Each structure stands twice: as C-alpha cells, then as structure tokens.
Structure 1
Amino acid sequence: MTGQLSFPRQHARTQRFSLGAPRGFAVAPDGSRVAFLRSRTGTDRANVLWVLDLDDGREYAAADPRTLLAGADEELSAEERARRERTREGSSGVVGYAVDAAVELAAFTLSGRLFTAELRAGTARELPVPGPVVDPRPSPDGRHIAYVSQGRLRVVPTEGPERTEDGAGDRSLAEPDGPGVTWGLAEFIAAEEMDRHRGFWWSPDSDRVLAARVDDSPVHRWWIADPAHPDREPAQVAYPAAGTPNASVGLALLGLDGSRTDVTWDQERYPYLARVHWSAAGPPLLLVQSRDQRAQRYLTVDTKTGATGTLHADEDPRWVELAAGSPAWTPDGRLVRIADEGGARRLFVGDRALTAAPLHVRAVLDIGEDDVLFTASAEDLHDIGVYRAWYRGSGDQGGWERVGQRPYPSVSSAVRGGSVTVLSHVCLERPGAQTEVVRLEADGGETWLAAVGSYAEVPVLATSPRLVLSGERRIPCAVVLPTGYEEGDGPLPVLMDPYGGPHAQRVVAAHNAHLTSQWFADQGFAVVVADGRGTPGRSPDWEKAVHHDLAAVVLQDQIDALQGLAGRFPLDLDRVAIRGWSFGGYLAGLAVLRRPDVFHAAVVGAPVTDQRLYDTHYTERYLGHPGEDPARYTANSLVGDDGLVDAAEPHRPMMIVHGLADDNVVVAHSLRLSSALLAAGRPHEVLPLSGVTHMTPQEQVAENLLLLQVDFLKRSLGVR
C-alpha cells in the first residue's frame, strides 16, 4: 500500500515519518527495563506506552489508549491543546508521561483524565480526580501524583489509607489568587522560547513540590478569530509581544502538610525563570535571566526560608544562551553547566571545563557518578554525536570520547538510567532511526543489550544530498539534485530551502531531514539548503553574528552560499526561487523584496513580517527592546509604519501562506505584508489555511500545501 502513495500524501499521513517510531524513553536505574512511546503502525497517531524487559527481552504494552478509553475519541482541554502546540506535538494517545524514581509507576493523561501504569506488571488504571488534568507527575517514591487542573496544583495519593476508589484524598496544594493566576504551568514564553515546559518539581524526599506561580494579568490580550466560522467567539490569547509586559513568575515550596514557603530573588532584575533543577545532590537550583538576556544567575534555594543565594553568574554583551539539561548537580554536589567561553560552547563541572574547541556542546543528557553524557558537534557540523566526559575517577585526566560503535556522520541522542543507555541515531545512508540499548562500561567500553524496533514507514523516495561548505565563510550546505540527474542534463532552476535562523539546523547527516527537498528536486529543481550565521552548531560567534541584525546577515549568507556553489553544481542563477516557514518564511520574504536581482520567486510561509508583533524573549534577545532603538525593528521587518520597507525593483512573484489559527506567529504578520504589497502595487498570492496553527498537522492540508507550492514555483520560474 505504501508504494501506491505519492510522497506528499505519505509524508503527511505519517507525520513526516515520525509515527510508529519509538520515542520518549525512560530507563529504570537498576537497568531492568526501558519504557517508551510508540504507535502500532507508521500511520497510527495513537501512541501506546510500552515496556522493554531487558532481563528476558520481552516487549509489552503497559497502557493502550484505545483500551483505556474504550474506543472513544480523545477530547482535549484548552490547556492541553496549548501544551501540545508549544511542544509541536501532533500525535494522540499517550503523548507524554512521567515516572517515579524507580521507573515503576508512570502517570499520563487521556482526554483530560488521569491514568497510571504499573510498568513491571504492564497494567494501567484511571484515578478519578477533578479534571481536566494537565501534566501529572509521580513523586519520586511513587506514593503521590501532583497535577494541574484549572490553574490549581493538586495532589492525589496512589495507594494506601489516603486513597479510595472515589478519589478521596485528592486535595489542592495551591489555588489561584487572582483571575490571571495559575499554579504549576509554564507560561507561554517559557514553553515557546526557553524550552521549559514544566511548572512544578517534586522534592527528592517526596514531601514537597516547588511550584511556579504565573500571573499573566499584565500581559496584553490578543484575539484570534476563525473567519471560516463567524458564529464562533474569538479565542483570547495572552501574548507578550516585544516591548510589552511579560507574565509575572514566582516560585513557592508547597508541602504535602499544607505549608507554603515563597522563594525570593531579585525578580525585577531577573524576571525570567529559565531552568529549575532539584535532586538529592543539593538544594533546588534555579537559572534566572535578565530581560535583555545579557546576564543570568545560578541560584540555590534555602528550603527552610525560601531565600536564594548566587552560586555562579554568566554575562555576555550580546546574550547568554540557554542549554538543555543545564544547570544541574553531580551526585557529589558539583555544578554542571554549559557556557560560552574561549570561543567555544563548553561543558563545565564545578570550575573545571571538561571540553574545548572544536567540540560545540549542545545539551547535557545525563550525569553519572563519574561522567557526564552530552551531545555535541565537532569539525563536521552536520555530525551531531553523543559524548561522554569524565569529571572524576578513571577519567580524571580530562578529555572526552564519542559513544556508539557505528559509522559516522550521524545525528544521535541518548537517555540513560544507571549503566544502561538507550542510543538513537539517524544517518544519511538509510531512512528512519535505529535505536539500541547498551551498557556503558566504566572503562569507556560498550555492551550491546537489545534493539528497540520501529514501525515507521519507509519513504517512497530516497535521497542522497551532498553536504558541502560554500564560500569564504564555509557556509554549511546540502545540495539535492533530481533522482537520476546526469551531468549532460544541463543547469537546473534553483530552489533555496532554508530555515536560516536561530535554534534550527537544517544541514544534518540525517536521511529523512532531506526527503522534502528531494521531492522538490524531483520536480525539476536543484535544491540548496544553507545554514548561515545565526544557525546553531559551529561556534558562539557564528550564532551571535545576528545580534541586532536578523535581516542583512542571514540574507547575505544565503546569497554567498548560492554563488559559492554555482561553479560546483548545475545551478541556473537566472531562475532562483526560495521557500521557507516561520523564520524561513521571513527569510524568503526578505530575499525577493530586498534582493530581486538574485531571487526570482518566493513561498513565504507563516513569516514574522513585523518584529514588533513577535514575542519578548525571542525578539528582544536579538534586537533589544523596541523602545531603545525603534529603527532597528523597522530595519529588520518586512513591513513598517509606512508600509513596505526597502522593497527593491523589479517585482517578484510571491505566495504568502499562513494558518489562521496560529497563536505563535499570528496571521496579522501575513495580512500586514499583503496590505503593504497591495499598497505598493505589487501582485502576490495569499493562501489562508483555515483552522491551521503553526504546525499544519492536518493530512490533507500538509499534502496539498506541497503540491500548491510546486505549482506556484513552476509557474513563476517557467519550469515545465
């Protein structure tokens, strides 16, 4: 059946070939089992919670949503829909879960109801509690589950005399004390821009919860309407646009005995709560940032008084970058952090740097008794590996080594529990990911234990991109030519296919990452993906070159990459188009408006056209506060107070695409661009997507969007 599908339909139906692939791993610290999520087929959106028993090699389902909901469709609360939008989650069923310290009990939601799974037994049941339930998390000892319902942070016992079948024992730990107040949830900015999706953290002793109190009443309200349904009320969204107030975020220690201790720090100077870590190795650890993000403080919390003390400080004249898994404690109480120092992004334990250039550290994955597991890239920027660095014991002499015995380059990730590690990796040579379970030995060796199977579909096409460096700045590029292209076939019209902005690397050693580019290439294009300055992976200076300039720098790198490749590949520079989504859409708009001498057509998807309409934490990081230099915002926008900005001649065809339900890059961006183009007498096309958010997860929408783009590009460039 797969072979009968076109690539656009298969790509959409499989959610970019993610369905059926295992993910969301949790490893028991005793090394006996691995929990994970996976749907039953490559087109099934409903994730099942599985357990791999490593002692006997048996795999079994611990929670099947179809059984638990008796075949009924899921019903999501507004809070859960918002959480899934922030995490770009498009599947269903068990989309996330949390476990106790022993990885014996898992908690999750279905249709806003609370369920638990006994992972050893492979059984699941519902706990009747007030709903809708959001983000349930077991205590480390597994005796209680904390969760959020309608802005309240609640706790329910899982067993014992406190627990009855009708839900008795469930109680509230914190109630909203104002109309805009919630407890235990991450605010919009934290979830969208800081990669912090949690709002509460259990104590290691399971007797208290450290919870975020969010008051979004200062945040300006926006209204997102669905023009296709004028009978429905617009959705109200608290959106902190650049230069406007953020939500007020605080913390409190909430005891199961009803006690409350407020946590205090200089919230006026450091309003952003970026990270929270609490383990048995030390007191609660906070990472807070100034609004301009040029300074951040690592704070420890006195759990008796709520007072905080500064453990470490980072400052940067441009901005300090947040990293996943950092900060944290080692088991012996040393601070683990990632910081930009000496021209590299480095891993530190205490005052000691464990890594140096050319290694560029991406994230901390796990901290062991002697070592730290992390991801990083080196000379080959498209090669992202899992590494291991020792901070004491046999590896006390320093240095690091790569984990995983396989050909490189690849893109890898890992989850560890005790000595057992789940390694997942993708590469250019084959589609999909391979997942294996290994034991990392103390001497640096590895012992293979098991494989975790994938049900993801095999794509109907294959790709073999050339990963090269272009131009004087050695810009990483992927070049994709049509299947079967031969040298004598002559030059090809070019399609630039970038993201081109912060926090998104497109040129990677991963087969599936280039499938859409291959499909466009097979329609008669030479497709070029270029990761210029501002994209991650090379060095702090490379990423921070876009400080105060999101427009000129990234656009020039696309041009330089294109021209640097022209002598090496069959590129027809008289027919060059560009397509992109989100930042890539912004970049595509920049290209045809400011450099029509280079770019001849553009597909502009969900673009940020007016920087003043995007959020505080992202936009102010790069452009500063709009009150400081309004002209900087105008220079980096596609539209301004007077309409089109820096629009050069001649006019180039442009297709603007935007989801009307997008609450991240709201459709006002595209509407303002269209109005400015109309006022300037510039013909263009607008494709509104009714009911579509920033993700475009709907199968028919995703499929037809690819087909419509190809039709537009062929018409615009004269491709037959």
Structure 2
Amino acid sequence: MSLYFMKLRSIVAIFGFLITALVTGQDKQITLQEIWNGQFRTEGMQALHSMANGNQYSVLNFDRQSGASTIDIYDYKTLKKVKTLVSSEDIPEIQRFLNYSFSKDESKVILTTDNIPVFRRSTLGHYYIYDIASKKLTKVSEDLIQEPTLSPDGTKVAYGFENNLYVKDLNSGNVEQVTTDGEKNKIIYGITDWVYEEEFSFVRAFDWNAESNQIAFIRFDETDVPEFSMDVYGSDLYQTQHVFKYPKAGEANSKVSLHLYDLNSKKVEELKVDKAYHDFYIPRLKWTNDADVLSVQYTNRHQNELDLWMINTKTKTSKVVLAEKDEAYIDVTFNLTFLEDNSFIWTSERDGYNHIYHYSKEGKLIQQVTKGNWEVTNYYGFNEKANTIYYQSTENGSINRDVYSIKLNGKNKKRLTEKEGTNSASFSADFTYFINTYSSATTPQEYTLHNSKSGKLVKQIKDNKALSKQLESYVLSEKEFGTIAVNGNDLNMWTMKPANFDPNKEYPLFMFQYSGPGSQQVANRWNSANDYWHQLLAQQGYIVVCIDGRGTGFKGAEFKKVTQKELGKYEVEDQIEAARILGQRDYIDASRIGIWGWSYGGFMSSNALLKGNDVFKMAIAVAPVTSWRFYDTIYTERYMTTPQENPSGYDENSPINHVDKLKGNYLLIHGSSDDNVHVQNTMLMVEALVQANKQFEWMIYPDKNHGIYGGNTRLHLYTKMTNYIKENL
C-alpha cells in the first residue's frame, strides 16, 4: 500500500541500530527519550545531484548558526568544495530554501522556500527560479503551487494550481492557464489524485517533450469517486472536516484521459490510443528522445495486463510496443529508459525474477540482459559510451544489496561493491564515478567514492564513526541473521537476544513484522529508530524476532505472489507457525509470546492474535487495516481483485470477522486523521469487539495521520506500547 512501514517525511531521519561487539564499560541503557530526540541520528548527504559535466556534484547544505541554505559544488576527484553555486544569504528575498532542482542545461535552478504537506508525497509551496549566470531571481507564483517543472531549454516553467495546469514564460513573465475547468474533488489536471499518488508513487502527471514545445498531461475526473471525510479537532470550539475523494475497493475510480498542450498553437487536445480500454489506469507517461513520440503505460483495473504505447503526436498514430500479462499482477516501475536510438531498457518479472531487458523502439526483444534466481532491485542507468548498464541486485543473498555493471549484451558482469550489507549507488552524469552508500547491521552509513569501471575505492567521503563511538557505551545486542523452516519454506529471520542472554533461562518472545506484498524487514542494513526500541526491549529481558513470511519480496515472483486473492492467509499462517516453532526452544517461554506491527503489520498482528489464540498471549496493532473492504482500489484490487469478485478472500482473512476468537491481550492504536488507513478500520473493529464482549485496550491520537507523529506524540506512543508489553508479556 504503500502501506510503507512508517516512512515519514516529517520525522527526523533517526537511523541507527547496534554494534555487535560488547566492550568493557558498556552499561548505559537506551531510553525512549534518546530514541525520539534524535540522539542516535546519522549524518548523510542531502539532495545530491551529479552535474552534467560528470566531474562535479552538488549538495544542499544548511548552516545551523546562520540559518542559511547553500547549494555547494564539489569535485569528484578531490571531494573538495569547488564553490557555492547559490546561497540564501546572497538573496534578500529568501531566508532559506529547503530543496532544489536544476533545469536540464543547469542554467537555472528551482528553489523550494516553504511547503505545506497535502498527502504522503504531495505538497503546496512557494518556489523561486534562480538564473545562475545573471543571478536573477523569479518567483514562480504568489500562490501556493504544486510540482513546478522547468522546460528542458530552461525558458519556461509548468506547474499545477487549484487543479489546473499553468505555464510561465521566464523571459516575458507571461503566465498561460492551460486548463480552466479544474475543481477540487471533481477535475484535476497534471497532478495525480489521492490513490494514484499513494499507490503509483507519483504526483506530477505532466511531462515536457525534448524541444520544450509540448506538454503531455493526465486529466482526472473524480466526480463519481465516493468522498471520505475526517473530523479535524484542532483547538477551536467546533471541529472542521477534511473531505476528499477516496475510492475504496470495488468503488468507482477517477476517469482518466491523456491530453497534449502545444505551446506554439496554444491548443489542448486529447490523445487517444488505438484500443478501447474500460476501467483502466495510466500509471506512467514519459517522452522519448524523439520530441514527437510519447510513451504511455496503460494497465487494466486488475493490474495483470500492462501495455506500453508509443504515441506520435505529429501523425496522431499509436502503437503498443510491449504487452505484459501475469496471472497475479504486474508491478509498475520508473525503470523505463530510452537510449539514443530510442531502443529502451525495461525491467520485468516475466521469467520469475525481476530482471533487465533491452527492446528495440518497435518493441522487439533484443536481449535479456540479466538472468538468475535473484532480483534486480534498482536500475541506475546506461552508459552509452561504454555500452554498460549499472544496477543493484540481491545476487549476494536476498538480505544484501550490491552494485553491478554489465554490458548491454548481458556479458562482462562485474560486482562493483565489496562489503557485505546494503550498497546503493549515485552515479556521476558521465558514469565515471559513483558515490556508494553502504551500511550493515553493524555499520552505520558510510559514503565513499568509487571508479565506475572497476569499483575501486577512490576516496572516503563521510562516515558515522562518531555515532559508533557513542554507542560503545551502551548495552547493545547483536542482530543475528538466519533462516527458519516454516510451512515448507526457509524464511529470513533476525533475532535480538538480551545482551546477558543465558541459554538456561526462559525468556518472553516479542515478534515484529510488516509482511505486506513485496516488502522486506529482514535486511542487512543500518535500520531505523524501531531497532533502538527493540534494543530497549532486549535490555529489559525480551527476545525480539522478525520474520519475513510468504508474500514478502526479493525471493522471486512465486514466493511473493502466493498470497494473491488471500491477503492475510499464508502470511498469518507463517507467523503463527514460526511462533510455535520458536516456542519449542528451551530458552523461550511459550506461554509468553507477543507480536506487533504497523499498518499492514497491524492487520497481521491482529489476525495472528485471533487465529493463533493458542500461541500468542498479546498483540499490538498500530493503524491496522481490519477489513480490505475499507482500503483503496489500486493497492487492494492489485492483490485481491474486487470485493464483488472475491468476497470470501476479503472476509475470511479480515480480523474484524474473527473477534470472537480473542483470548489474549490486545492493544489497538490509530490516528484520527489517517487519510491512508482510515480510523474507520479501528472504530468498526472496536464495535465488533464490544458486541462480542471482548475486553481490550485502545488509543486514538487526535488529528494524527498514518505516521502518528508530531511534538511528543512518538514518545507517548512508544511509552504506551512499552508499558503495555511490560504489563502483558
């Protein structure tokens, strides 16, 4: 669902975890206050951008004393700062900026000066365009706008405002209103609706062509989409309501259509393809290198058929160049890449694992570039000069990530990273260098510069040794990786035991999981604040375990898609059986096993407590789905089809229908302003529990969204959960 496990944009990025070796003098105990005040935050590199010359990169820096923002340019070879390209101290109109993006020719840069969150990815903000040569500053609009995007030639900027699309000429200052009938909760142009943003992971639904004279965009007609409303309590005498369009499973979606704005003729026209679609999605649009050829992806409502179209806007002709089908579903990605000859790179699970393919511009398969029983997890790009593709994969084990290079013909594959753990790359524009971000369960993030041809280390950039040093004084437990044989599968697992673990004693077991389709929690990386909380629980005598059951990702399509049409069946069976198996170990008290999760994980922990009532003593569910009938179309129907087609799949595995089985202790938590998993899920679960005369505990956080954060909220939430575990496990 994008029910991503607590990916929160407004929280401090508190990554961190543990150092395995126990050092003499390690006696400090982790506290909840330390976790949530940023005590263990890691240092990073913000808004890294490789400059077009291939020799330099830019980074966004903040001066905490002066409050100034700068875009600083660094040299790849020396890693030394070459110059400050833009500083808010030199711009009287701007106190500071929060982000930046360059025009294609890097002559101009868009500066984000403030923004107001709308939903998970969307914001409203004020933006300025800074001309680097003339130092001229242009405010895009006095209004709060969305997704300002410079044309490739840097002369114009397109943006969304109040559901309409606008173009501003930066030379004349003239603003053209491209569309006029945009209306809240009715018609949207060029900006996605709620469900597209959440589930297809993009907000900007418009794109400039190569010659800066055409803009393709999607129109969303959400007139028939049912509305959802949430009370916002605030601090006034009367509450207000937030009302927005939200298509729940089986309900009407936005009607989408594709349009083109010609900047020369000033005309808008609808672009149609040569196929009659019914109830479909347009999850991606992207211009090819040909200024008159637009690529568009169409998928049916079940998302098990995906067509890649090429539309010629000059001749008004269209052609399907690639058509994929799957018995379950097809993941939409951002990996489509056009080479100079307009042949293209595509990733697909067609052979059972996610791999890279090269097609001609007509859609003829030229080469399957990567092969094997492992997954390509990121596609970084193609170096035309060296005829080489760069990617990230799980070749070194599904819990690890490494960076590789391979020729376009699938030969000369080379592993470019050496350290076992999680490696991810940011390549220079000409692919001469890459900056590698590395971490593991024992090593916080390290940033290093490498030669892209050999992978050889060029220079160290930044590490987090200060954090490692700081953690040496704490009592910490090792995160042990392994597998557990459950229901015929070897499932990935990590275990965290108390630092003073005694195999002759019995310990309560507390299980953590997320379990959503394609997700992963058991990974060899430096993790989030939750790991510190799990460390805190281990300090207090609990064994904490995390298991990725069937349905999770990076072990092939068959393993991932086995849960199709039955979310909450096999995943729950795996958690229950794993708990049974672990409970047989001499050092685990089988009468004291608990489980928790957030979002999809809360759906799972609720089900586990109810269906595994002879195994689990307690469960905590945060922001859980309690019936898939309450969740959105795109995510839910991808895995379940519609409730009309699959009523038993929806009902037999929804915890709301199993409340009569409750025996253990149950804590239910939700934010009242959760626009993603609505508090309706918890309210109807509560009503079902009450009518079944089942006792439980629950907590509502007023005006908090799916992330449940802000002020002391996180500290309060984790204090409550910690106390509940102490009292009930």
Q: TM-score range by the shorter chain?
A: 0.7 to 0.9
1:12-49 CA distance string (max 9 Å, x none): 3339836x5224332122113223345557x9999865
CA distance in 2, matches of 1:348, 1:703: 47
User: What is aligned with 1:434?
Assistant: 446
User: What is aligned with 2:500?
Assistant: 485
User: What is aligned with 1:499?
Assistant: 514
Alignment of 1:248-327 (within 5 A): 248-257=255-264, 258-265=266-273, 266=275, 268-269=277-278, 271-280=280-289, 283-323=293-333, 325-327=334-336
Alignment of 1:44-59 (within 5 A): 49-54=71-76, 57-58=80-81
The reply to whether residue 29 of structure 1 matches residue 41 of structure 2 is: no
CA distance in 2, matches of 1:622, 1:490: 43
User: What is aligned with 2:352?
Assistant: 343
Farther-moved stretch of structure 1 (235-244 vs 563-572): 563-572
Secondary structure, in 3 states, of the residue corresponding to 1:284? strand
Q: TM-score, normalised by structure 2?
A: 0.85
CA 682–62 in structure 1, closer or farther in 2 if over 3 Å, else same: farther
Alignment of 1:575-590 (within 5 A): 575-590=592-607
CA 275–684 in structure 1, closer or farther in 2 if over 3 Å, else same: same
1:182-208 CA distance string (max 9 Å, x none): 222122222111122321111112222
What is the Cα deviation at residue 629 of structure 1?
Answer: 2.4
Secondary structure, in 3 states, of the residue corresponding to 1:694? coil
The reply to whether residue 359 of structure 1 matches residue 383 of structure 2 is: no
What is the Cα deviation at residue 653 of structure 1?
Answer: 0.9
What is the Cα deviation at residue 588 of structure 1?
Answer: 0.7
CA distance in 2, matches of 1:47, 1:502: 40
1:493-537 CA distance string (max 9 Å, x none): 111110111242111111224333223322321111111111111
Matched-pair contact (CA < 8 Å) for 2:30–2:536 = no
Farther-moved stretch of structure 1 (173-182 vs 678-687): 173-182
User: What is aligned with 1:82?
Assistant: none
Farther-moved stretch of structure 1 (459-468 vs 182-191): 459-468
The reply to whether residue 9 of structure 1 matches residue 33 of structure 2 is: yes
CA 397–412 in structure 1, closer or farther in 2 if over 3 Å, else same: closer
Match of 1:232 among 216, 227, 239: 239
Matched-pair contact (CA < 8 Å) for 1:498–1:530 = yes
Matched-pair contact (CA < 8 Å) for 2:111–2:127 = yes
User: What is aligned with 2:728?
Assistant: 716
CA 7–35 in structure 1, closer or farther in 2 if over 3 Å, else same: farther
User: What is aligned with 1:470?
Assistant: 484
CA distance in 1, matches of 2:680, 2:91: 41
Farther-moved stretch of structure 1 (200-209 vs 257-266): 257-266
Secondary structure, in 3 states, of the residue corresponding to 1:262? strand
User: What is aligned with 1:691?
Assistant: 703
1:270-293 CA distance string (max 9 Å, x none): 621122222426832122110011
What is the Cα deviation at residue 704 of structure 1?
Answer: 1.8
Match of 1:114 among 115, 121, 127: 127
Q: TM-score, normalised by structure 1?
A: 0.86
1:225-266 CA distance string (max 9 Å, x none): 024656132001110110011112222221222132322134
Alignment of 1:436-451 (within 5 A): 436-441=448-453, 444-446=454-456, 448=458, 451=461
Secondary structure, in 3 states, of the residue corresponding to 2:178? strand
Secondary structure, in 3 states, of the residue corresponding to 1:584? helix
CA distance in 1, matches of 2:503, 2:639: 46
User: What is aligned with 1:653?
Assistant: 665
Match of 2:178 among 161, 173, 178: 173
CA distance in 2, matches of 1:70, 1:600: 59
CA distance in 1, matches of 2:432, 2:688: 57
What is the Cα deviation at residue 410 of structure 1?
Answer: 2.1
Secondary structure, in 3 states, of the residue corresponding to 2:537? helix
What residue identity is the alignment partner of 2:526?
H
What residue identity is the alignment partner of 2:108?
L
What is the Cα deviation at residue 409 of structure 1?
Answer: 2.5
What residue identity is the alignment partner of 1:188?
W
The reply to whether residue 627 of structure 1 matches residue 651 of structure 2 is: no
When the two chains are superposed, the root-mean-square deviation of aligned CA atoms in Å is: 3.2
Stretches of structure 1 lacking an aligned partner (at least 5 in a row): 75-92, 163-167
User: What is aligned with 2:147?
Assistant: 135
Match of 1:541 among 558, 565, 585: 558
Matched-pair contact (CA < 8 Å) for 1:51–1:119 = no
What residue identity is the alignment partner of 1:34?
Y
User: What is aligned with 1:79?
Assistant: none
Match of 1:383 among 400, 406, 422: 400
CA 303–469 in structure 1, closer or farther in 2 if over 3 Å, else same: same
Matched-pair contact (CA < 8 Å) for 2:508–2:593 = yes
User: What is aligned with 2:539?
Assistant: 522
Matched-pair contact (CA < 8 Å) for 2:620–2:721 = yes
1:200-227 CA distance string (max 9 Å, x none): 1111122222222222212111111024
Match of 2:716 among 704, 708, 711: 704
Matched-pair contact (CA < 8 Å) for 2:607–2:653 = no
CA 231–475 in structure 1, closer or farther in 2 if over 3 Å, else same: same
User: What is aligned with 1:101?
Assistant: 104
What residue identity is the alignment partner of 1:706?
Y
What is the Cα deviation at residue 118 of structure 1?
Answer: 5.3
CA 534–106 in structure 1, closer or farther in 2 if over 3 Å, else same: farther
Matched-pair contact (CA < 8 Å) for 1:502–1:536 = yes
CA distance in 1, matches of 2:247, 2:325: 24
User: What is aligned with 2:216?
Assistant: 210
Secondary structure, in 3 states, of the residue corresponding to 1:367? strand
CA distance in 2, matches of 1:225, 1:45: 36
Farther-moved stretch of structure 1 (109-118 vs 562-571): 562-571
CA 29–620 in structure 1, closer or farther in 2 if over 3 Å, else same: same
CA distance in 1, matches of 2:260, 2:218: 9
Matched-pair contact (CA < 8 Å) for 2:162–2:182 = no
What residue identity is the alignment partner of 1:478?
W
Identity %: 20
Matched-pair contact (CA < 8 Å) for 1:272–1:288 = yes
CA distance in 1, matches of 2:521, 2:200: 20
What residue identity is the alignment partner of 2:218?
A
Matched-pair contact (CA < 8 Å) for 2:421–2:441 = no
User: What is aligned with 1:80?
Assistant: none
CA distance in 2, matches of 1:560, 1:118: 62
The reply to whether residue 241 of structure 1 matches residue 248 of structure 2 is: yes
What is the Cα deviation at residue 464 of structure 1?
Answer: 2.7
CA distance in 1, matches of 2:199, 2:430: 31
CA 654–700 in structure 1, closer or farther in 2 if over 3 Å, else same: same
User: What is aligned with 1:598?
Assistant: 615
Secondary structure, in 3 states, of the residue corresponding to 1:319? coil
What is the Cα deviation at residue 11 of structure 1?
Answer: 3.2
What is the Cα deviation at residue 477 of structure 1?
Answer: 0.7
1:451-503 CA distance string (max 9 Å, x none): 25779966755553111111141100111112x22335622111111011124
What residue identity is the alignment partner of 1:562?
A
CA distance in 2, matches of 1:306, 1:675: 56
What residue identity is the alignment partner of 1:373?
Y
CA distance in 1, matches of 2:605, 2:520: 17
1:402-430 CA distance string (max 9 Å, x none): 223x3112242434421244434332254
